C-alpha cells in the first residue's frame, strides 16, 4: 500500500479561504421572506392539432382532467368524455392554477360569435409556435415542439406532478413612493418593465405593478432600478452584505504576505457547478451562490470592493437572457468607471464562463484594492448603500486629489440637470413632477419664486425634462463627488407677479409675460380687457367678467346681465 502524502504548504495557503468559508457557514439563518402560493386541481388544457394531442389525452386521461382546444379545421376522434373545443384562440394568460383561455367558437354566418373564457390549472401547448412568447413562460405552462419527442415524454411525466398546493419565495419588494416610472402621464424610468423576461411587470399609470406569480426571481428589475423602489429579497442586500463581510473580513484577518488578494465569485447552482470545481484549488476565490446572477448589481459590486475584495467575477454559461447579461455588464462598466476615477487601477469585474475564469481571475486579482476595509453594513436602501461604499472608497483612494465629478453614460442612476434660464418661465411644473424631491421650490420662506435642486436625490428618470413645457431641462449623467451633491442648489429665481386687481400672488412675472406674448394675437383675447383678465387671480377674473355688461355668454351668445 502506498502512503498518501499531504502537502502541508498547500494546506497553509488555503487557510485564509477555509477560515472565510467557515465564517460564512457560521452566520445565523436569514429572516425568511414572504411566499407566493399556487393551487392546482389537475385541470389540463391541451392545445394543438396533431397526433400528439390524442397521445396526451390517452396517457393523462386517468390522472388529470384533460380538455382539448383543437386548432385544426375538423374535430378529431378523442377518447369518450373528453372536452374538446374548436375555434379561434383570442388570448391565453395566467399561471399554474389560474390559466384563462379566451376563444371564439368556429361557426358559419355573418354574425361573429361571442368570446368565451375558460379557466385551467395547466397548459400543454403542442402548436407550431408557443402561445407565450416571453423567454421564461409561467409555471404550469409546457410548450413542446413537434421535433422534440424526448421533451414530449418528459412533459407527460411532469404534468401529473403539478397537482396540489405549492409555494415559492416572493423575490422582490416594491416601494411605490420612490418609483420614478411616471408622473402625470409623463413616462420616466421603465427599466424594470423593459428587462423582465417573464412579463411580470407592467405599467399601472404613474407606478408599476408586479404579478408575483409570474416572477421567477432573476432580480434584474432591482439591478437596473435607479431609485431602489424595486429591491431583491432572495436574499436581501443587507443579508448578502453580511455574507460578504464574513468572507472578506475573515480572509483578510488570516491573510499573510504570500496570500493572493481575495476575489468574490458569484455563480448559480446550475451553470456554476463546473466553476465550483475549478475554484477548489484556488486559495483566493471566495464563492457565493446566487439564485440568479442577474441580481448582482452595482451595490454588491462596489460593496465587495469596499470590504476589501480586489474584485468580483460573475459566472455565466450563456443560459441567461441576453438583456440580463447586458445589464450586468453595464453595472460593471459603471462600477469600473467610478473606481478608475478614484485611482483604483486595473480591471475589478468580469462576467465570463468557467472556461475563461482562470484568465479573468488573474486579471481581477491584480487590480488595486482599498487600503482599509469598510465596516459599514450594506443596506436594503440601494442608494444609501452606494453612497456609503463610494464615500469609503473615496476616503481611502490611492490618489491625492479626487476629481469633482465622474462623467457617466446616459441612463445612469446619478446625475445633475442643466437648466436654460432664458427658456425657463419658473412654472415649477418640473418640481411638481419630480418623484424623488430632487427638484423643489424655494419653500415658504422664499421672497421670490425659486427653483432648487439636490443632485444626491436625482435618479435621471427624465420626467422633469419631459414635463417642462419650454424644453429648458437637459439631463447631465455624472457622479458628483463633492459635498455640493447633498445641498440644495439654486437653479433659477425670478420676480413674482401679483394680481393687478387684489394684489394676491399669482405666479412669476416671466410666466405671465410669456403667456401674454403667446395669446396676444389669439381671437379669443381681442376684446377690450380680456388680456388684463389673464393678469388677475381666479376670483378677480370672475368679478371682472360679471361686471362687464358687454361680456358675451358662451352659453346663450347674449350679453351677460
Got the DSSP string for 368-406?
A: ---SS---SPP-SSHHHHHHHHHHHHHHT-SSSS--SEE
**Helix/strand/coil (H/E/C) assignment for every residue in 105-127:** ECCCCCCCCCCEEEEECEEEECC
Are residues 67 and 81 in contact, defined by beta-carbon separation less than 8 angstroms?
no
Q: Is 335 left (phi over 0), alpha (psi -120 to 50) or beta?
A: alpha
Which helix (H) or strand (E) element contains residue 19?
Answer: helix 8-25
User: Above 70 in pLDDT, residue 114?
Assistant: no
Helices and strands (DSSP H and E) totals, the chain = 16, 27
What's the alpha-carbon Rg for the chain, to the nearest Å? Answer: 31
- Residue 34: pLDDT band (50, 70, 90) is very high
Give how far Cα 397 sits from Cα of 219, 306, 406, Å: 31, 11, 14
Q: Where are the beta strands (DSSP E) in 437-498?
A: 439-441, 450-453, 473-480, 489-493, 496-498
Give the cell for residue 476: 447631465
Q: Quick one: pLDDT at residue 515? A: 75
User: Above 60 in pLDDT, residue 344?
Assistant: yes
User: Above 80 in pLDDT, residue 91?
Assistant: yes
Q: Where are the beta strands (DSSP E) in 134-221?
A: 141-143, 164-169, 172-174, 182-183, 186-187, 201-204, 207-210
Are residues 527 and 512 in contact, defined by beta-carbon separation less than 8 angstroms?
no
Q: Higher confidence at residue 537 or residue 484?
A: 484
Average pLDDT score over the chain: 90
User: Above 90 in pLDDT, residue 335?
Assistant: yes
Total residues found in the chain within this entry: 561
Rounded average pLDDT over 59-82: 88
Q: Quick one: pLDDT at residue 524? A: 67
How far is the C-alpha of 496 from the C-alpha of 447, rounded, in Å?
A: 9
How far is the C-alpha of 503 from the C-alpha of 524, rounded, in Å?
A: 25
- Residue with cell string 448582482: 296
The dihedral through the CA atoms of 532, 536, 542, 546 has a sign that is: negative
Q: Quick one: pLDDT at residue 4? A: 33
Give the cell for residue 268: 448559480
Rounded average pLDDT over 392-405: 95
Q: What is the pLDDT of residues 523-540, one digit of tens each?
A: 666 666 677 777 888 778
273-276: Cβ within 8 A, 24+ apart: 274/317, 274/354, 275/315, 275/354, 275/357
How far is the C-alpha of 446 from the C-alpha of 309, rounded, in Å?
A: 48
Of 195, 78, 92, the closest CA to residue 141 belongs to 92
- Least confidently predicted of 161-165, 195-199, 304-308, 426-430: 426-430
Quote the DSSP letter at residue 543. H
User: Above 90 in pLDDT, residue 314?
Assistant: yes
Question: Which residue(s) pair with 360 in the sheet?
Answer: none
367-372: Cβ within 8 A, 24+ apart: 367/310, 367/311, 368/310, 368/343, 368/344, 368/398, 369/261, 369/305, 369/308, 369/309, 369/310, 369/344, 370/305, 370/306, 370/308, 370/344, 370/396, 371/396, 371/398, 372/396
How far is the C-alpha of 20 from the C-alpha of 30, rounded, in Å?
A: 18
- Least confidently predicted of 155-159, 294-298, 356-360: 356-360
Rounded average pLDDT over 315-332: 95
Q: Quick one: pLDDT at residue 464? A: 97
Rounded average pLDDT over 58-68: 92
- Residue 506: pLDDT band (50, 70, 90) is confident
Q: Quick one: pLDDT at residue 1? A: 35
- Residue with cell string 374535430: 75
User: Above 50 in pLDDT, residue 3?
Assistant: no
Q: What is the pLDDT of residues 431-466, one digit of tens each?
A: 999 999 999 998 876 778 899 999 999 999 999 999
102 Cβ partners below 8 Å, 6+ apart? 89, 90, 91, 92, 115, 116, 117
Q: Quick one: pLDDT at residue 6? A: 33
How far is the C-alpha of 59 from the C-alpha of 121, rounded, in Å?
A: 18
pLDDT above 90 coverage of the chain, percent: 71
Amino acid at each position: 500500500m502506498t502512503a498518501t502524502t499531504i502537502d502541508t504548504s498547500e494546506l497553509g495557503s488555503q487557510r485564509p479561504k477555509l477560515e472565510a468559508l467557515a465564517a460564512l457557514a457560521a452566520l445565523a439563518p436569514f429572516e425568511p421572506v414572504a411566499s407566493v402560493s399556487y393551487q392546482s386541481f389537475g385541470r389540463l388544457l391541451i392545445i394543438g392539432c396533431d397526433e400528439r394531442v390524442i397521445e396526451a389525452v390517452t396517457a393523462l386521461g386517468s390522472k388529470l382532467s384533460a380538455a382539448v382546444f383543437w386548432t385544426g379545421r375538423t374535430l378529431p376522434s378523442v377518447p369518450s368524455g373528453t372536452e374538446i373545443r374548436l375555434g379561434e384562440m383570442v388570448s391565453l394568460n395566467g399561471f399554474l392554477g389560474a390559466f384563462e383561455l379566451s376563444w371564439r367558437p368556429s361557426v358559419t354566418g355573418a354574425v361573429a360569435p361571442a368570446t368565451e373564457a375558460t379557466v385551467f390549472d395547466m397548459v400543454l401547448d403542442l402548436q407550431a409556435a408557443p402561445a407565450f412568447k416571453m423567454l421564461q413562460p409561467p409555471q404550469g405552462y409546457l410548450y413542446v415542439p413537434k421535433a422534440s419527442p424526448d421533451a414530449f415524454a418528459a412533459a407527460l411525466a411532469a404534468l401529473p406532478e403539478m397537482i396540489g398546493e405549492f409555494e415559492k419565495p416572493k423575490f422582490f419588494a416594491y416601494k411605490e413612493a420612490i418609483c420614478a416610472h411616471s408622473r402625470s402621464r409623463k413616462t420616466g424610468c421603465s427599466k424594470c418593465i423593459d428587462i423582465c423576461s417573464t412579463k411580470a411587470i407592467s405599467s399601472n399609470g404613474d407606478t408599476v405593478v408586479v404579478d408575483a406569480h409570474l416572477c421567477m426571481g432573476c432580480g434584474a428589475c432591482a439591478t437596473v432600478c435607479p431609485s431602489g423602489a424595486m429591491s431583491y429579497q432572495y436574499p436581501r442586500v443587507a443579508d448578502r452584505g453580511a455574507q460578504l463581510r464574513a468572507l472578506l473580513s475573515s480572509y483578510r484577518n488570516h491573510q499573510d504576505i504570500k496570500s493572493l488578494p481575495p476575489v468574490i465569485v458569484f455563480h448559480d447552482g446550475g451553470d456554476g457547478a463546473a466553476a465550483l470545481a475549478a475554484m477548489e484549488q484556488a486559495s483566493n476565490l471566495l464563492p457565493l451562490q446566487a439564485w440568479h446572477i442577474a441580481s448582482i448589481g452595482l451595490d454588491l459590486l462596489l460593496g465587495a470592493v469596499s470590504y476589501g475584495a480586489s474584485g468580483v467575477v460573475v459566472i455565466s454559461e450563456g443560459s441567461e437572457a441576453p438583456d440580463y447579461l447586458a445589464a450586468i455588464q453595464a453595472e460593471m462598466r459603471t462600477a469600473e468607471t467610478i473606481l478608475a476615477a478614484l485611482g483604483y487601477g486595473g480591471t475589478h469585474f468580469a462576467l465570463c464562463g468557467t472556461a475563461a475564469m482562470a484568465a479573468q481571475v488573474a486579471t481581477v486579482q491584480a487590480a488595486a484594492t482599498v487600503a482599509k476595509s469598510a465596516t459599514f453594513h450594506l443596506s436594503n436602501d440601494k442608494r444609501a448603500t452606494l453612497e456609503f461604499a463610494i464615500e469609503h472608497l473615496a476616503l481611502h483612494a490611492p490618489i491625492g486629489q479626487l476629481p469633482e465629478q465622474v462623467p457617466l453614460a446616459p441612463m445612469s442612476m446619478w446625475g445633475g440637470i442643466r437648466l436654460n434660464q432664458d427658456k425657463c418661465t419658473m412654472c415649477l411644473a418640473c418640481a411638481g413632477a419630480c418623484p424623488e424631491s430632487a427638484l423643489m421650490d424655494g419653500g415658504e420662506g422664499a421672497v421670490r419664486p425659486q427653483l432648487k435642486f439636490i443632485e444626491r436625490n436625482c435618479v435621471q428618470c427624465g420626467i422633469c425634462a419631459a414635463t417642462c413645457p419650454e424644453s429648458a431641462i437637459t439631463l447631465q449623467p455624472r457622479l458628483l463627488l463633492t459635498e455640493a451633491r447633498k445641498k440644495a442648489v439654486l437653479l433659477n429665481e425670478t420676480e413674482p407677479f401679483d394680481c393687478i386687481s387684489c394684489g394676491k400672488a399669482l405666479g412669476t412675472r416671466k410666466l405671465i409675460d410669456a403667456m401674454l406674448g403667446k395669446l396676444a394675437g389669439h381671437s379669443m383675447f381681442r376684446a377690450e380687457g380680456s388680456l388684463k383678465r389673464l393678469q388677475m387671480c381666479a376670483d378677480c377674473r370672475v368679478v371682472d367678467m360679471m361686471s362687464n355688461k358687454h361680456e358675451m355668454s358662451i352659453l346663450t351668445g347674449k350679453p351677460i346681465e
